[in-house]
């Protein structure tokens, strides 16, 4: 800009044809017109050039600034892309974790369901081990097939099957000596290929037809008090590349304890049931010897009460208990003098008062036997009445256990339809009429209606 100023002050006046007088005045010359036009043209070009150069410099400066800003934006964009990729990775990991958690929760629920069935008396071994095998296949998902086999009567029987032909397997009976007893969780390779060598010829072909080729098995034994009862086998298909791990063996070692607990409970229940049955039958036989009129009565009451309990919708375990309670409902009569029990004529009030003691005495006898408290309660209340005028506790309506209400009806029916020294048996039509008359006073009205329906189409007499 300094050059431009010099050009304008010193060069431009002379170039335009001006001269200075002695006094310093500027005097125009003759060529001033033409030169004036040229100079002004050049001046315009110079100014434009300077403006262009200035603008170029300005634009270059801005361009560098924009380039730097663009670089910063690219860097920021790269950071955002990387952050987005990290977020996508985290999201994928979260999705996988959520899926794994869902699968883990499903496996846990399967285990809880199996655990909840261990103490269930109503669940048979086939039903329990069906649940058990299904849960095991969820816990070890690489397994393609599975079976549960138990030793019964010295035979090897399949009771739960997944992935194979269950109908065929469950009718097979393998000799016990064909199966090796194991006492810890074991991984066995090529078990399928050993059938030709290890399995009895009579069942070998049906067995191979019922299963599919498998390359590896995870065998879990069921041990109770050191005794081998059976095995669960989880099998990997021959075309599957997966294999069982040591971690899976540890998991199944822990899981197998549930099955062993179930088997122990079942066997204890069977033993306890046999023990209780023997006690009950001994009491019944003693009573029949003592009171000749009750011979066969207890068994008939037990059979009738069971039918009524089933019609009332009670579960199998409740029906079983009602059956046993019916068998012993009169054992307390042992405390009643035989002269009163076997008296042919009408009882006096004092004698009837002795008879009324037998439900309480039955209760006292039965409750002393471990595990029979509930049966003792059923027996105690089998002479209560719906209207509250019964004995021994004068319970009313639904205060009386439903099992006792059922036994009351069965007991009354057999008493009415049996021969007595002081009267003949009552005809069915009269019995039905009597039940209708006393429904809602002596007997539960709902159960009475059910029972009338049963006896209308059934003959209980032997």
Q: What is the pLDDT of residues 394-408, one digit of tens each?
A: 999 999 999 999 999
Q: What is the pLDDT of residue 252?
A: 85
Higher pLDDT, 340 or 318: 318
Region at 190 (left for phi over 0; alpha for psi -120 to 50; beta for the rest): left
Can the peptide bond before residue 11 be classed as cis, meaning omega within 30 degrees of 0?
Answer: no
Instruction: Name the residue with higher pLDDT: 139 or 121.
Output: 139
Say how far apart CA 379 and CA 293 lie, in whole Å.
Answer: 19
Confidence tier at 14 by pLDDT (50, 70, 90) = very low
Q: How many helices (H) and strands (E) does the chain have?
A: 17, 8
Reply yes or no on domain 125-261 having CATH 1.10.599.10: no
3-state secondary structure of 11: helix
Residue (of 391, 429, 435, 394) closest to 412 by Cα position: 435
Candidate from 11-20, 66-75, 204-213 with smallest mean pLDDT: 11-20
Residue 333 pLDDT level (bands cut at 50, 70, 90): confident
Res. 26 pLDDT band, cuts 50 70 90: very low
The helix or strand, by DSSP H or E, that contains position 233, with its residue range, turns out to be: strand 227-237
Query: Do residues 292 and 335 lie in contact, with contact meaning Cβ atoms separated by under 8 Å?
Result: no
Tokens of 130: 């069906």
Query: What local confidence, expressed as pLDDT, does residue 184 receive?
Result: 92
| Per-residue pLDDT at 292 | 64
* Angle subtended by helix axes 373-380 and 316-327, to nearest 10: 60
To 10 degrees, what angle do helices 297-311 and 402-417 make?
A: 130
Q: Model confidence at 236, in pLDDT bands (50, 70, 90)?
A: very high
Q: Is the pLDDT of residue 312 over 60?
A: yes
Is the pLDDT assigned to residue 372 strictly greater than 70? yes
Ramachandran angles phi, psi of 322, nearest 5°? -65, -40
Cβ atoms of 408 and 326 closer than 8 Å: no
> Average pLDDT of 345-368?
88
Residues 139-144, mean pLDDT to the nearest whole number: 90
Residues 6+ apart with CB under 8 A from 8: 43
Q: Is the predicted pLDDT of residue 221 greater than 70, yes or no?
A: yes
* pLDDT at position 113: 54
pLDDT for res 323 = 92
Most confident segment among 31-35, 40-44, 71-75, 396-400: 396-400
Q: How far apart are CA 176 and CA 196, in angstroms?
A: 16
Range among 100-114, 242-256, 437-451 rated most confident: 437-451
Q: Report CA 103 to chain centroid distance, whole Å.
A: 14
What is residue 6's predicted lDDT score, i.e. its pLDDT? 43
Domain ranges of the chain: 2-93, 125-261, 291-457
Q: How confident is the model at residue 106 (pLDDT cuts 50, 70, 90)?
A: low
Mean pLDDT value of segment 242-263: 83
- Give me the chain's average pLDDT, please: 80
Q: Other CB atoms closer than 10 Å to residue 230's CB: what's the count?
A: 23
Distances (CA, A) of 384 to 60, 101, 236, 409, 458: 111, 56, 62, 11, 26
Q: What is the CATH topology of the domain spanning 291-457?
A: Hypothetical protein af1432 (1.10.3210)
- 180 vs 203: CA distance, rounded Å: 16
317: pLDDT strictly greater than 80: yes
Please name the residues in contact with 99: beta carbons below 8 A apart, sequence gap of 6 or more: none
Distance in angstroms (rounded) separating the CA atoms of residues 48 and 305: 122
Percent of the chain surpassing pLDDT 90: 31
């Amino acid at each position: 800009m300094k050059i431009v100023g010099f050009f304008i002050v010193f060069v431009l006046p002379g170039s335009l044809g001006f001269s200075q007088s002695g006094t310093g005045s500027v005097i125009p010359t003759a060529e001033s017109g033409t030169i004036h036009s040229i100079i002004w043209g050049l001046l315009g070009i110079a100014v434009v050039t300077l403006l262009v150069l200035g603008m170029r410099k300005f634009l270059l400066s801005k361009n560098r600034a924009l380039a730097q800003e663009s670089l910063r934006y690219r860097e920021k964009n790269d950071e955002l892309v990387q952050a987005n990729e990290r977020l996508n990775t985290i999201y994928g990991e979260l999705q996988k974790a959520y899926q794994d958690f869902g699968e883990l929760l499903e496996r846990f629920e399967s285990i809880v369901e199996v655990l909840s069935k261990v103490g269930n008396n109503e669940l048979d071994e086939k039903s329990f081990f069906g649940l058990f095998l299904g849960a095991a296949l969820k816990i070890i998902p690489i397994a393609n097939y599975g079976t549960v086999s138990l030793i019964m009567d010295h035979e090897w029987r399949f009771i739960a099957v997944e992935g194979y032909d269950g109908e065929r397997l469950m009718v097979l009976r393998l000799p016990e000596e064909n199966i090796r007893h194991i006492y810890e969780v074991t991984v066995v390779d090529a078990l399928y290929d050993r059938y030709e060598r290890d399995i009895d010829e009579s069942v070998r072909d049906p067995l191979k037809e019922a299963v599919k080729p498998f390359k590896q098995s995870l065998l879990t034994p069921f041990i109770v008090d050191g005794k081998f009862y059976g095995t669960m086998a989880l099998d990997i298909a021959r075309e599957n590349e997966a294999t069982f791990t040591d971690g899976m063996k540890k998991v199944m070692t822990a899981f197998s304890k549930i099955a062993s607990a179930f088997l122990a409970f079942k066997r204890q229940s069977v033993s306890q049931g046999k023990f209780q049955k023997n006690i009950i039958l001994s009491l019944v036989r003693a009573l029949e010897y003592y009171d000749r009129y009750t011979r066969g009565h207890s068994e008939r009451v037990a059979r009738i009460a069971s039918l009524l309990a089933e019609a009332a919708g009670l579960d199998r375990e409740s029906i079983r208990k009602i059956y046993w309670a019916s068998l012993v409902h009169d054992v307390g009569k042992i405390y009643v003098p035989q002269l009163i029990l076997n008296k042919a004529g009408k009882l006096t009030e004092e004698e009837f008062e002795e008879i009324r003691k037998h439900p309480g005495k039955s209760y006292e006898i039965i409750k002393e036997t471990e595990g029979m408290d509930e049966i003792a309660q059923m027996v105690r209340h089998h002479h209560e009445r719906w209207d509250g005028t019964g004995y021994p506790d004068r319970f009313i309506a639904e205060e009386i256990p439903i099992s006792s209400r059922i036994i009351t009806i069965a007991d009354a029916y057999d008493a009415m339809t049996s021969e007595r020294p002081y009267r003949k048996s009552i005809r069915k039509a009269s019995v039905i009429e009597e039940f209708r008359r006393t429904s809602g006073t002596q007997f539960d009205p709902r159960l009475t209606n059910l029972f009338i329906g049963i006896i209308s189409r059934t003959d209980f007499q032997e």
